[in-house]
Every structure is written in C-alpha cells, then in structure tokens.
Structure 1
Amino acid sequence: MVWNDMRAPMVPLRGLIFLCLLHLCVQGIQGVNTAVLVKMIQYFHDNVQPKTQSQTDAQYALAIRVPLDQCTKEESDIQTVFSRYDAQKVKDKLDKGEKCLLNEGEECTPSKNVIATRPDLKTKEHAEHILLYPLCKSPMDELLKKDKIVKDNCVVFFSYYSPCVKTCIQGQNNISKGLSNWINKRKEGMNAFVFQEIWQKDKKKDLQEEFPKINAVVPLYRCKRTSNVMACRKCVENNIVDGFCLPEKQ
C-alpha cells in the first residue's frame, strides 16, 4: 500500500512535465510576428536604405539584435532600441560605401546592436556574404558575442534584394554555411532572414526550388511595398513557397 501511495502522484507529474516540454517546443518554433516585422522593415526603408546616383534604392544587408518583444509584440517601437540617430549613422556609412561593424574601435552605433554593409564593388563580394564570413570571425559572429541570453533576444538579418541563386545559394561563395554558423549559435532563439525585392537576374529562376534551401536553415520572410504600403509574409511552409515571395507573373 505504501508503494502504491508513493506512485499515485507520478501520473499528474508526468503530465505536467509533458505540458512544460510542449510549451518549450512551441516557444522554440514560434515565428516572428509579421505585423511587427512590417514596422521594422518600414523603419529601415525610411531611415537606413542607401541611395546612389544610379540606384534609387541600393542593395545592402543589415543584421540587428533586439529584445524578443521587438519581434513579437505589435506595440513595440523599434526606435527604443535603434534610434533615428543610430539609423542615420548607419545610413551615412552605407551612402559612402562604408561598412557598419562592431570591431572598429569606434562602434558604428552607440547601441552596438547593428551591423550593415553594401556589396564590395572591388572584390564583387555580396553584402550578405560580407556579414556572414569568415566563419567564426565574421561581423555576425561579433554581433552574436553580445547575445548573452539567446532566448531573450531576436536576430533579424535583412537584405534589400533576395539572395541570388547563382552566387548566394548555388555558387562557391554561397551563404549556407554562414547561415548555419549563425543559427547553430542561436538554436534556442528567434531568428529571421528577410528580403524585400527579388534580385533582378533571378526573376526567371525557379525560386520555388531555391528559397526552401534557405528556409531549411533559418525562417525566410519577404516584406514588400505595394503602393507605398509595406506587407510581410513568411515565405515557406511545408516546403511550398508562398506566391507573395515569388516574382510577379509577366
């Protein structure tokens, strides 16, 4: 009888443990709130987007580490963690073709939570690749070193153009290992790769096949402006690409 009495509480305890583990799993796979992402990417468009003489909107990549609320709660305000002053400092560097990094002695921004770059015109290295390589010593690695409690933060990697198929996804300079390096350090955290426009030379490529390769490593989103209104969606579910993330049919 004593043995039975000792066993009695074990059933509800197991149930409680299961529910706790289930909750943790749900928390771990929860995606970025796209309504919040709209405000963030619109802020980048208004305050960071570099301009050039030949391009109204030039290609650039930016990664930002923010408190989790900035990726989940609609009432959050990106300016509280990435001020207009900081955004202007980043834009000034990008407009000059300079990099915004964290290991320059004088940090790019006082908040020390942003890295950004345009493509290197001399070496032809793409902006995404510059931020993610060399592995373990990249600008992204420097950013993640400041991420003391992974699950309390969110990291958003933004590229104005989608990663190009020929170089970023299939070529020798592809970004897959760089993305894996990032995610392996933040398995318990919230992460997102976001692009805005389809790279011009990829509008006839089979992105239905290529985009899932990125999404398999890090959740892929697109934020697109239509009639000056920003909208964001997750690109891949069950290995199927949402038409919102694909080129418009001609």
Structure 2
Amino acid sequence: MRGVVLLFLLSLWPGGQVDAINQEVLANVVQEMRRFGLVGQQYAMAVILTQDQCNQNQVKFDLNTEEIQNTLNGNNIYTGDWLIAATPLKTPLYTEHAEYRLLSRGKTKISPMETLINKAGHNAGQCIVFFSTYSPCLEKCNGPDGGRYNIIPLMNVFQGFDNNRKAFVFSSVWDPSRNHPGVTNPSRQWVLESFKRIDGHLPVYRCDRFKENNKWVNRCYRCVTANTNPDTNDCLYGY
C-alpha cells in the first residue's frame, strides 16, 4: 500500500535480518506523508508497504492528493487499496475520533483497517504504519478504564505483523486544555502509561520537527524505551 499514513522503513543487518525501524528514514517519510493530509486539522492514516518499499531509503507516494483531501474534507473515510485515512466525525450527539473510525466496524461487519490488511494478504515482508497527528487521548480513545470509543481492544488487528514491521506514529501529544479551557491535563506519567498501552500492540513513535542547536530538524523518537522517566522522555517534549 502506498498511501497516506506514515510509512516507515526498516534497516537490515547483513544477511537480511531485520534489526529495527530506521528512525531517520521514518522522519523523512512523515514529511512526505504530510503532503496528503489536511493542514491544521486532525487526521489519522494507515499504509501498508511492500517488502521492497520497507527497505528503501526514500519513498514517494504515487497518489492523488486532491482526491484524498477532498474525501477527508467531506468527513468521509478514504479507502484506497494500500491506504486509508479519516478525520474526526462530529455530530450533535457524539464525536468519533479519527483513529477510532479507522479501527471500528461501526455499522459494517469489517473495519477499514481490517479491509486494508485483508487486501494486503499478510504477504511476507510487508510493513504497516498507523499514523495520527495527535497521540490518542485519555478521555476517549486510550483511557485506562476502557469505554465505548476506546481503541485499545481494536488493535488486535495488528497481530499478523511482528514488531519490526509495524509502528504507530504521532506528531504531537494531545492537549485537552487546548479546546477546553479550564480542563486539567493528565500528568506526564499518565500520558506515558497511555503510550505503553498502545505499545503492547505495535511500537509507538513520535515524529515531528524539534529544535536542536537553534535549528529545526525532523526527528522520530521511540516512546516506550529504557527511559521511563516522564520528565525526560523525548515523546513528551513540549507537553
């Protein structure tokens, strides 16, 4: 699959053994992906890559940018052969977050994510990347106590991929007080624990532009690592 949502590339040891996700390549891919998203809006995407695409240093998406963006602007789910994408669906009664829309079966018997993976057929060496502009919120998508719109139980769909061929990536940590003044944000420790819940199904990364030595650079960080200190974990930078 080509499309929207992050693709991520893998680095190989001699002999073809997968070591880990190449985070520099992943950072470049995120920049490529952003050409297809909606500027200033929240969205989620997922993409499946062939084995060859997983091992390339550079990948360009051969996609119709206007078609994808028009679909998202219309509050519809984009469902390509190798890419799916969605924005939050807001109604007078409820809001379905973008990640949930891709993972949920809703009124159908199969979710967009299941359809995507089934089309791919679990061919050897394929990679899958699930991207969201924001980390899944603790109020709804990733709370410790579950709930109707919690995405954690829906992530079993990724079991067919080993940890070196799948990734969940976000750009910014969700800040509840941004849209709801007066709300007390969850602690950094609670947010870090929320990353761990996702990481139980697929490795979590944060990819964004960070300021280093007075210069802005594209970087990706593994969120659940040996560094369990919420005050210094790179994925919580700026929160």
What interval of TM-score do these two structures reach, taking the shorter chain for normalisation?
0.7 to 0.9
Q: Distance in 1 between matches of 2:197 and 2:227?
A: 9
With the length of structure 2 as denominator, give the TM-score of the two structures: 0.75
Amino acid at match of 2:99: E
Contact 1:36 1:71 (C-alpha < 8 Å) held by counterparts:
no
With the length of structure 1 as denominator, give the TM-score of the two structures: 0.72
Q: Distance in 1 between matches of 2:20 and 2:164?
A: 10
| Equivalence for 1:118 | 87
Give deviations 1:28-74, integer Å, cap 9, x for gaps: xx4321111111111122x12214xxxxx111000001123434442
Q: Distance in 1 between matches of 2:21 and 2:163?
A: 14
| Equivalence for 2:37 | 49
Higher strand content, 1 or 2: 2
| Equivalence for 1:200 | 175
Amino acid at match of 2:111: S
Q: Distance in 1 between matches of 2:66 and 2:28?
A: 17
| Equivalence for 2:224 | 236
Say how many residue pairs are matched: 203
Contact 1:150 1:186 (C-alpha < 8 Å) held by counterparts:
no
Structure 1 unaligned spans of 5+: 1-22, 52-56, 102-107
* 1:208-219 alignment runs, 5 A limit: 208-219=192-203
| Equivalence for 1:40 | 29
Amino acid at match of 1:113: W
Q: SS state of the match for residue 145, structure 1?
A: helix
Q: 1:221 to 1:69 in 2, by over 3 A?
A: farther
After the TM superposition, which of the residue ranges 167-176 and 185-194 deviates more from structure 2? 185-194
Q: Distance in 2 between matches of 1:131 and 1:188?
A: 20
**Superposition RMSD on alpha carbons, in Å?**
2.6
* 1:154-165 alignment runs, 5 A limit: 154-165=127-138
Matched, 1:62 2:52: no
Contact 1:196 1:223 (C-alpha < 8 Å) held by counterparts:
yes
Amino acid at match of 1:226: F
Contact 1:150 1:188 (C-alpha < 8 Å) held by counterparts:
no
Contact 1:36 1:70 (C-alpha < 8 Å) held by counterparts:
no
Give the superposition deviation at 1:185.
Answer: 2.9
Give the superposition deviation at 1:166.
Answer: 1.6
Give the superposition deviation at 1:187.
Answer: 4.1
Q: Distance in 2 between matches of 1:65 and 1:33?
A: 17
Matched, 1:144 2:144: no
Please identify the structure whose Cα radius of gyration is greater.
1
Q: 2:102 aligns with which of 88, 113, 131?
A: 131
Give the superposition deviation at 1:97.
Answer: 2.4
Contact 1:36 1:72 (C-alpha < 8 Å) held by counterparts:
no
Q: Distance in 2 between matches of 1:211 and 1:63?
A: 18
Structure 2 unaligned spans of 5+: 1-14, 178-184
Q: 1:63 to 1:193 in 2, by over 3 A?
A: same
Q: Percent identity?
A: 30
Q: Distance in 2 between matches of 1:137 and 1:189?
A: 26
Q: 1:235 to 1:71 in 2, by over 3 A?
A: farther
Q: Distance in 1 between matches of 2:51 and 2:220?
A: 18
* 1:169-184 alignment runs, 5 A limit: 169-170=142-143, 171-172=146-147, 173-180=149-156, 182-184=157-159
